[in-house]
Structure 1
Amino acid sequence: MPRNWTLQRWLVAALFAAFSALHAHAAVEVNQANEAELNSILGIGPGLSEKILNERARGPFKDWQDLMQRVKGIRARTASKFSDGGLTVQGSPFQTKAPTGLEDATSAP
């Protein structure tokens, strides 16, 4: 086999791997996603995607808290997992709330 042929095969494989990696981490916006896109998120199956779509038909989700309140079965732990899988609400990933009442360790008393 000519050396150029091997290089071409390697480049095609590298491009395919890069494209696959980008696609795997692509954001899925809950307010725009169809059933197949929702099902592509690890942990979201047909039953949960149906619940999400039914609630979304009543109006878009304002934020993660709104999604968790309106869709039974989504709580902080699952929201974090779905966010890690690429799900967003209004373009934002899930963020756990920082504990309140804690002062910054660097601030003076």
Structure 2
Amino acid sequence: MKKIFLGLLLSFAFILASMDFNTASKQELMSIKGIGEKKAQAVIDYRKSNKINNLDDLKKIRGFGDKLVLKIKNSKEYNSK
């Protein structure tokens, strides 16, 4: 029972630790490998009229394809925020 509780607690902490693309600054977005100034600005422009519910929503933004989104999902920069 303790192991299950600990596992759930760690999973919850991991979710909270991920970067929020709806509120991240341009600099925070640019800290992720594969996102430069133009892509960071594209995210900021997109989120002015759309909510990013999950990383797959990034594919709706020009310049974000399957490979880049997968790279972001696996990046330490995204997962350490």
TM bracket, shorter-chain basis: 0.5 to 0.7
Highest RCO, 1 vs 2 (Cα 8 Å, sep ≥ 6): 2
Gaps of 5+ in 1: 1-25, 89-109
Q: Deviations over 1:32-91 (max 9, x none)?
A: 20101000001101010000000001121123332212x111111100111112437xxx
Counterparts of 1:63 and 1:74 in 2: how far apart (Å)?
13
Q: Percent identity?
A: 24
Separation in 1, partners of 2:67, 2:45: 22
Q: Where does the alignment leave 5 or more consecutive residues of structure 2 unmatched?
A: 1-16
RMSD of aligned C-alpha atoms? Answer: 1.8
Higher alpha-carbon Rg: 1
Give the structure with the higher percent helix: 2
1:37 aligns with 2:32: no
Number of aligned residues: 62
TM-score (normalised: structure 2) = 0.66
